[in-house]
Structure 1
Amino acid sequence: MHIAVIGAGVVGVTTAYALCQRGHQVTVIERLDAAGMETSRANAGQRSYGYVYPWASPAMIKKALPWLLQQDAPLKMHLPPTADTLRFLIATWRFAQTPGLFDANKRAMLRLGSYSRQCFQALEDELSLDFDSGHRGLMELASDAQSAKALQVNAGLLNELGIEYESLDAAATLEREPALAEHGPLVGSLWLPGDGTGDCYRFTQALARTCEARGVCFQYGAQVVGAERDKGHIRALRLKPSDDGADVPECIASDAFVLCAGTQSRRLGELFGAKLPIYPVKGYSLTAPLLDPERAPRSTVIDDRYKVVSTRLGSRLRATGFVELADMDRRIPGSRLATIRRAIESRFPGAADLDAAESWTGFRPMTPDGPPVIGEGKRNNLYLNTGHGTFGWTLSAGSAQLVAQLIDGETPAVSLEPFRPGRFAH
């Protein structure tokens, strides 16, 4: 079967690889000039299989207003908010207030995370890809008793789902991450030994090259502008060049189509009759060369005070922070980078050359409830694999396999009910 995958971020490329593995002919359509150039470019380096959670959290709703008023708080919003921002916030509030939904969605996302871990292990066993891959776990810090109590609540759910973890006191935390010694308050931590790290951009580029070597066609610089339909089927996509120089065919016909277009999925979904209320949640990162590896984290450390994630990627340190509601504003305010720098210096002073750091901003494709959209669209040969929010890197390998199973008529290895596209129809 010929399958067209729309989007060459990490989700689209892993989907193309999963389909290629099964013997399908695959064409990947990407509006930019290479794979992994948008949200996958410089996101957080952790593959946090045991640390995934829904966006629409009742606890987050309670903290939202105070956070908006604090300079270094993790949540920001451009003022005045646009109509799209307000609609997204109203939908988020509605989902956060739905009894039992957050807990059910968190369980579903953790199950998908565990499955994605298995899929990544299989992929890395099969391929030799160079992307600063590591498997030394993830650590979430508790700087006070309140944070420590919250970690214990999370530990209970991990235990219920059979996800390996350790609750560490301060001394045991420093044994795991000795660079933290005497740098900032510390009560303890939650350590997830099964979690991993890696450079998502390097992975996406390397896997795209592998796909091409196995016959996958990548059509870069191509923007989808329409669809040719026949009753309940999509027959072909109408394309135009993203710039005047691109050599792009007018149409691409296919037997099936998979939408993996991240923040572009809302616009493209409308072409196919799919309602996808995906919002571009903005984040920032700094990537700096290490000066002293002994002062740097061994793997991934989440600071509970700044909500900044610090990850070692080979000879580099990447720190990522903020959830900002600003539509597609690509500006990088100095104040955001200053907060990330403070977070790094508070825990890992002298670890990296922050003066040589590369800054980045990108947009996570977030659904108002939080779980990604995985399943069949309204058109009976359209499949959706998008809206992964802050966890696209983590969940990509698993969600790709689930879509491939669905296309081949198999029962998906993880229930897709919590991820069904039709949940936004009302």
Structure 2
Amino acid sequence: MHIAVIGAGVVGVTTAYALAERGHEVTVIERLDAAGMETSRANAGQRSYGYVYPWASPAMIKKALPWLLQQDAPLKMRLPPTPDTLRFLVATWRFAQTPGLFDINKRAMLRLGSYSRQCFQALEDELSLDFDSGHRGLMELASDAKTAKQLQVNAGLLNELGIEYESLDAEATLEREPALTEHGPLVGSLWLPGDGTGDCYRFTQALARTCEARGVHFQYGAQVVDSIRDKGHIRALRLKPCADDQAVPERIDADAFVLCAGTQSRRLGELFGARLPIYPVKGYSLTAPLLDAERAPRSTVIDDRYKVVATRLGSRLRATGFVELADMDRRIPGSRLATIRRAIESRFPGAADFEAAESWTGFRPMTPDGPPVIGEGKRNNLYLNTGHGTFGWTLSAASAQLIAQLIDGETPAVPLEPFRPGRFGR
């Protein structure tokens, strides 16, 4: 079967690999000039299989307004908000207020995360990919007793789902992450030993090269401008070079189509009759060379005060933060980077050379409820694998396998009801 995958971020490339491994002929269509150049480029470096959760959280809704008024708070919004931002916020509020939905979605995402861990382990056992991979766990800090109590509540669900964790007091936390000693308030932490790290961009590029060596065709610099449909099927796509709007559209025929286009999925979904209310949630990162490895985190540490994540990537430190609602504004305010740097230096002073850091901003494709969109579209041969929000790197290996299972008529390894494309209505 010839399958066209739209999008060459980490989700699209892992999907292409999963399909090629099953013997399908695969063409990947990407509007940019290489794989992994948008959201996958420099987002958070952790693969947080045990630390995934829905966006539409009742607790987050309660904190949203105070956060918007605090300078260093993790949530920001451009004022005045655009109509797209307001629609997304209204939908988020509606999902957050739906009784029981957050708990259902969190369980579903944690199960998907656990499956993704298995899929990544299998993939790494099979391939020798160089992407600063590590498996030394994730640690969420508690700076006060209230936060420590909430971590215990979170641990209850992990225990229910059989996800390995340890609740650590301050002393045990410092044994796991000795660089934290005497730097900032600390009551304890929740440690997830099964979580991993890795450079998503390097992984995506390396896996794309592996795909090409196995016959996958990548068509870069091409944008989908229309689809050709007939009796409930998509017959072909019409493409134009991104650099030449006057070019005659090229036709690409395929037996099935998989939409993995991240923040572009909303626009492209309309071409296929799929309603995908995906919003580009903006984030920032700094990637700096290590100055002193002994002062740096061993793996991934989440600072509860700033909601900033520090991840060791080989000889570099990746620091990420903020959830910003600003549509596709690519500007990088110095205040955002200053907050991220301040958060890291408050916990790991002297660890990294932030004067030599690379800054980045990108857009996470967020659904208003939070779970990604994984499943069959309205067209009989359309499949959707998009909307992973902040967890695309973490969940990519699992969602790729699930799409491949659906296309081959198998029962998915994880129940897909919470991820169904039709949950947003017409």
The alignment's TM-score, normalised by the length of structure 2, stands at: 0.99
Distance across 1 between alignment mates of 2:241 and 2:301: 42
Q: Contact 1:221 / 1:246 at 8 angstroms: preserved in 2?
A: no
Distance verdict in 2 for CA 1:234–1:84, change over 3 Å: same
Structure 1 residue 244: Cα displacement:
3.1
Distance across 1 between alignment mates of 2:117 and 2:249: 37
Map 1:24-423 to 2 at 5 A: 24-244=24-244, 250-423=250-423
Distance verdict in 2 for CA 1:153–1:240, change over 3 Å: same
Distance across 2 between alignment mates of 1:72 and 1:141: 18
Distance across 2 between alignment mates of 1:354 and 1:244: 39
Distance verdict in 2 for CA 1:271–1:245, change over 3 Å: closer
Structure 1 residue 305: Cα displacement:
0.1
Secondary structure of the structure 1 residue equivalent to 2:344: helix
Structure 1 residue 247: Cα displacement:
9.7
Secondary structure of the structure 2 residue equivalent to 1:141: strand
Displacement over 6 Å in runs of 4+ = 245-249
Structure 1 residue 249: Cα displacement:
6.7
Q: Deviations over 1:339-365 (max 9, x none)?
A: 001001100000000000000000000
Distance across 2 between alignment mates of 1:62 and 1:128: 45
Distance across 2 between alignment mates of 1:243 and 1:32: 10
Structure 1 residue 231: Cα displacement:
1.1
Q: Deviations over 1:159-179 (max 9, x none)?
A: 000000000000000000000
Structure 1 residue 385: Cα displacement:
0.1
Distance across 2 between alignment mates of 1:49 and 1:14: 17
Distance across 2 between alignment mates of 1:301 and 1:39: 21
Distance verdict in 2 for CA 1:145–1:248, change over 3 Å: farther
Q: Contact 1:49 / 1:117 at 8 angstroms: preserved in 2?
A: yes
Structure 1 residue 251: Cα displacement:
1.0
Distance across 1 between alignment mates of 2:5 and 2:348: 41
Q: Contact 1:308 / 1:322 at 8 angstroms: preserved in 2?
A: yes
Structure 1 residue 245: Cα displacement:
10
* Long gaps (5+) in structure 1: none
Secondary structure of the structure 1 residue equivalent to 2:276: coil
Q: Deviations over 1:160-218 (max 9, x none)?
A: 00000000000000000000000000000000000000000000000000000000000
Q: Deviations over 1:276-297 (max 9, x none)?
A: 0000000000000000000000
Q: Contact 1:222 / 1:248 at 8 angstroms: preserved in 2?
A: no
Q: Contact 1:49 / 1:116 at 8 angstroms: preserved in 2?
A: yes
Distance across 1 between alignment mates of 2:78 and 2:291: 35
Q: Contact 2:240 / 2:247 at 8 angstroms: preserved in 1?
A: no
Q: Deviations over 1:105-139 (max 9, x none)?
A: 00000000000000000000000000000000000
Q: Deviations over 1:361-418 (max 9, x none)?
A: 0000000000000000000000000000000000000000000000000000000000
Structure 1 residue 248: Cα displacement:
9.3
Q: State the identity as a percent.
A: 92
Distance across 2 between alignment mates of 1:143 and 1:228: 56
Distance verdict in 2 for CA 1:301–1:141, change over 3 Å: same
Structure 1 residue 307: Cα displacement:
0.0
Distance across 2 between alignment mates of 1:287 and 1:304: 20
Structure 1 residue 69: Cα displacement:
0.2
Distance across 2 between alignment mates of 1:221 and 1:209: 17
Distance across 2 between alignment mates of 1:386 and 1:115: 17
Distance verdict in 2 for CA 1:55–1:123, change over 3 Å: same
Q: Contact 2:281 / 2:326 at 8 angstroms: preserved in 1?
A: yes
Q: Contact 1:221 / 1:248 at 8 angstroms: preserved in 2?
A: no
The alignment's TM-score, normalised by the length of structure 1, stands at: 0.99
Q: Contact 1:222 / 1:246 at 8 angstroms: preserved in 2?
A: no
Q: Deviations over 1:75-130 (max 9, x none)?
A: 00000000000000000000000000000000000000000000000000000000
Distance verdict in 2 for CA 1:357–1:248, change over 3 Å: farther
Cα RMSD of the aligned pairs, angstroms, is 1.1
Secondary structure of the structure 2 residue equivalent to 1:394: helix
Distance verdict in 2 for CA 1:225–1:245, change over 3 Å: closer
Secondary structure of the structure 2 residue equivalent to 1:93: helix
Distance verdict in 2 for CA 1:246–1:171, change over 3 Å: farther
